[in-house]
Amino acid sequence: MSLLPMFPLGGTLLPGDVLPLHVFEPRYLQLVRDCVESPDHEFGVVLIERGQEVGGGDVRRDVGTVARMVQVGETDDGRFAVMSVGTHRIRIAAWLPDDPYPLADVDNWPDHEPDDPAVVTLLHEVAPRVRRATALALELGDSVSDPQHELSDDPLVASYQLCSLAPVGAADRYDLLCAAGPVARLILLRDRLDDIEALLQFRLGDA
């Protein structure tokens, strides 16, 4: 268990995702300064279940992702532009008082059975469907990733990449983050694709 600065957001960060942040709220300006001075330059990201990113008073989920700052720039008026990358997932053991910013005791949560050979079979099954759905969402004008994005040779990393590529919302991404391991994650993504494909086809016919 370790103490980690936390940045609750309205979206779900997955391991491997790039997270750009424009930081202006005083408490998060302090968070950035402290993270820059820390040896790991890391903070946690969790999905806000209810409430807003600005001002506090939000209700937060209990699974998140560690983000590592890779680039930080400060504007003339004292704001920060931060580029971070998701590294691994965590469970929130306990929230501490937001003083001066959200803090939590967290535990690392490694994926269950990341080397299960069934992952490769599922990747071959799910990847073409994700690419087709993303291409269709792009055709409809949605803001999505490049459907031809190359996947990692590491099956665990690839399972997260497909979840990031798929045109799903923050709640679905959170469920995918919480899957026990890559097999469960890809099965869940495969099931969610049924509804996603049906909705995209409906929108295409209605366009």
CATH number corresponding to 2-108: 2.30.130.40
Rounded CA-CA distance 107/48 in Å is: 19
Q: Which residue has the higher pLDDT, 184 or 113?
A: 184
Residues 6+ apart with CB under 8 A from 45: 6, 7, 8, 9, 13, 19, 64, 65, 66, 67, 86
Average pLDDT over residues 111-135: 93
Q: Pinpoint the alpha helices (H) of 86-181.
A: 118-139, 155-165, 170-177
- Confidence category of residue 53, pLDDT binned at 50, 70, 90: low
Determine the Cα–Cα distance for residues 172 and 122; give it in Å rounded to an integer.
19
pTM exceeding the 0.85 threshold for the entire prediction? yes
DSSP bridge pairs for 3: 105
- The pLDDT, as a whole number, for residue 50 is 72
Q: How confident is the model at residue 205 (pLDDT cuts 50, 70, 90)?
A: confident
Where do the CATH 2.30.130.40 domains begin and end in the chain?
Answer: 2-108
